[in-house]
Amino acid sequence: MKRKAILFVIALLVLMPFTAMASAPQVSCKGGTCSNLKITKVTINPTSKAAPSKVGFTSYISGPVKLVQYTVMDSKNGKVVGSCSSYCSKCTKKGICTCSCIIKESGTYDVKVTAYGSGSCCVNMVKKAAITISSGEKSKKFVPSFKSVISGKKVTFKDTTSGAKPMKWNWNFGDGSRSTVQNPTHTYKKAGIYKVYLTVYSIDNSYKGVSNKVVVK
């Protein structure tokens, strides 16, 4: 009799974890939108602008919510790079739901927020280019520079910036003309000495400038 009781207790202990897992909310998004559920606001807060970065999400939900899921996707190819979920037990009575995930690589990312209500209904919100994470390169290594080749009034400029990878360029040719391409060619209307300015922007939107004189004959 005692042996049977011991075996019964052991069986219960083995089954308990699986029972707990099965009781977790399993909500799908097959029933369309919820008429009484709405995502009113979403805030996104990276702890760092450089990878790897922990990103915190807070959503404000009106209506009965069971689960809120956050999915981080590469803005260029839609690849999922991170996700997290906040169950109703972790949301406050005011419908404020939070969670966080780690973004390991640099890039620009969209964030999709999905709130699940009663039954199998859900509502979505997508924030385009919501997160920009740099590669972690230090700005002190970011040194803008350029070279120029003069042929008459035609000048070809070459960006020779070193350090952090440039993402944007802003050229001022000194005669009122500008360009945003990396290696532009500019033709001056008359001879003279022109001071050319180049402003280079890195992936984290930091920028530095440099200037050189060109002599056009």
pTM given for the model: 0.52
Residue 178 has pLDDT above 90, yes or no: yes
Question: Of 101, 133, 165, which one is at a domain's C-terminal end?
Answer: 133
Is the same domain home to 41 and 129? yes
CATH number for 175: 2.60.40.10
| % of the chain exceeding 70 in pLDDT | 79
Confidence of residue 122 (pLDDT cuts 50, 70, 90): confident
11 and 64 in contact (C-beta within 8 Å)?
Answer: no
Last residue of a domain, one of 105, 133, 161: 133
φ, ψ (nearest 5 deg) of residue 163: 95, -130
Mean pLDDT of 63-78: 91
- Residues 58-69 have a mean pLDDT of 89
The pair of three-digit structure tokens given for residue 2, joined into one six-digit string: 């005692």
Tally of domains in the chain? 2
pLDDT in tens, 126-161: 999 999 887 765 545 778 999 999 999 999 999 999
* Structural domain span for residue 101: 34-133
Of 87, 107, 133, the domain-final residue: 133
For residue 4, being part of any structural domain is answered with no
Residue 47's pLDDT is what? 65
Give pLDDT tens digits for 13-48. 333 332 222 233 344 455 566 778 889 999 998 866
Same domain, 101 and 164: no
How many C-beta atoms lie closer than 10 Å to residue 183's C-beta? 14
- Answer yes or no: do 193 and 156 share one domain: yes
